[in-house]
Amino acid sequence: MERKQFELGDVVQMKKQHPCGSNEMEIIRMGMDIRIKCVGCKHSVLIPRAKFEKNMKKVLRSKAAEDGLAEA
């Protein structure tokens, strides 16, 4: 099975939505645990990497792609 690719600053879609109603989360810290921040209400949560990888659906906006567009 292929590992999901994500980086610091990416906005990802999670399987379950946050209680505020948004299911978009921004990755703001990476390591053994990953801190994500809700795009809707700005609440942040620290979760283990394994749980994050299991619950992440897809990357919606990549930080690297945005940086590439800004430099051009």
| pLDDT at position 71 over 70 | no
Token reading at 47: 């979760």
Candidate from 4-8, 45-49, 53-57 with smallest mean pLDDT: 4-8
Token reading at 9: 């600053």
Dihedral sign (CA 64, 67, 71, 72): positive
- pLDDT confidence tier of residue 62, bands split at 50, 70 and 90: confident
d(CA 29, CA 8): 7
pLDDT digit string, tens, across residues 33-53: 999 999 999 999 999 999 999
For the segment 13-37, the average pLDDT, to the nearest whole number, is: 93
